Amino acid sequence: MNNSSRGKFCAFTLVELLVVITIIGVLIALLLPAVQSSRLAAKRMSCANSLKQLALGLHNYHDTYRSLPPLYIGPTQAEGALSWCVHLLPFVEQQALFADFDGLSRRAGGPAMLDSDTFYATLGIGRTGLRVSTYVCPSVSATRPVMSTTDVFGLGTSGEFAPLSYKASTGTDIDAEETVNNGMFQALRGLRFDDARDGVSNVYLMSEVALTSSNPTAFVGFAAVGSVKRLPQLPTFPVADPCSEHHVDGRYHNNGTDRQGSYLHHGLTHYSSFQAINPPNGPSCYESASVSAVATSSLHSGGANHALGDGSIHFVSCNMDRAVYNRCGARDDGELD
């Protein structure tokens, strides 16, 4: 009798088994969002760490050369514009890559400068598809497709050279070829931290942009090509929205294949700089190779990481007041709060 009773309860009934499976399914459903959230938070933190490394590299560069690197060095943005990223390479443990830029002349005691506007034709790097981890947000897919160009700036190779997730701030001026603006980076010359009259802890130094993998020409908040409304050199605040009269369709187009952040070595606005006009993930507009209103963007929910002049990293909300955001982009507007 006892043996028979024990035999009846050795296995789960079908109902009990279904209940257990349901409970396990509910627990998994509850845990997955938490796991995903933890992964996203880890990527956001890793992204902030990369931005921190670049900010510290800029401080070390400043200690060495008594200035920040120029936004770019070269005849124009379209011809031989060597970006700040190249100057920074030795300060982020990329001396070997920096040495590959062999078509350079050097000024005494200073960073490399270009021989001529034929620089890219004589570079001889040929490293398409190169990925410098410090310059790329961890949230960017490792399989992000390269652009389908037939020639990369005269190198005789096709593809993408070292994508860039992090951009230097030119303040609220939209013409990156101007040698005077209110940001921390200017064309052809490097600024000093002393130039931040509002204090280095009150001005943006760098931020990030989203490099997507779903579409070679798709970017967060980008408008179709159009005439950007010109802003005064030292605008009043808040800055008038340069994209208000243009259709924002989420895409950036130049020649159909050009991509934001495709070349860390090139000084074009959409490759290596941003303008503190619209808050993160806001609309951006493009007029020409040098005239753009590029908003920061990210693959992190709710905002984007920003580095201040003192090297600190802050996550800035998409909902930040635009007037406040403008002031944080200006190094010398006289507003410290």
Q: How confident is the model at residue 301 (pLDDT cuts 50, 70, 90)?
A: confident
Give the residue from 273, 281, 163 showing the smallest Cα distance to 211. Answer: 163
Residue 203 has pLDDT above 70, yes or no: yes
For residue 180, give its domain range: 48-329
The pLDDT, as a whole number, for residue 331 is 87
Residue 4 has pLDDT above 60, yes or no: no
What does the mean pLDDT of the chain come to? 70
For 143-166, write each residue's pLDDT tens digit: 554 443 434 444 444 445 677 889
Q: Is residue 8 part of a domain?
A: no
Determine which helix (DSSP H) or strand (DSSP E) holds 39, and give its type and residue range: helix 14-65
- DSSP label at residue 194: G
Omega before residue 238 within 30° of 0, cis: yes
- Cα-to-chain-centroid distance, residue 46: 14
CB atoms within 10 A of CB 209: 30
Q: Is residue 17 part of a domain?
A: no
Number of domains in the chain: 1
Residue 75 has pLDDT above 60, yes or no: no
Q: Is residue 23 part of a domain?
A: no
297 or 250: which carries more pLDDT confidence? 297
CA distance 174 to 228: 9
Q: Is residue 20 part of a domain?
A: no
Q: Detail the DSSP E strand segments found in 172-242.
A: 204-208
Q: Is residue 262 part of a domain?
A: yes
CA distance 44 to 124: 35
Question: Could you give the dihedral angle defined by the CA atoms of residues 164, 314, 73 and 174, in that order, rounded to the nearest 10 degrees?
Answer: 100
The pLDDT, as a whole number, for residue 83 is 84
| Residue 316 phi, psi dihedral angles, 5° rounding | -95, 130
In DSSP terms, 167 is beta-bridged to 207
Q: Is residue 12 part of a domain?
A: no
For 60-71, write each residue's pLDDT tens digit: 999 999 999 988
Model pTM?
Answer: 0.73
CA distance 220 to 270: 13
Determine which helix (DSSP H) or strand (DSSP E) holds 288, and give its type and residue range: none
CA distance 268 to 176: 8
pLDDT more than 90, % of the chain = 15
Sign of CA dihedral 5, 6, 10, 15: positive
Q: How confident is the model at residue 72 (pLDDT cuts 50, 70, 90)?
A: confident
Structure tokens belonging to residue 309: 């002049």
Q: Which amino acid, 84?
A: W
Q: Is residue 10 part of a domain?
A: no
Residue 229 has pLDDT above 80, yes or no: no
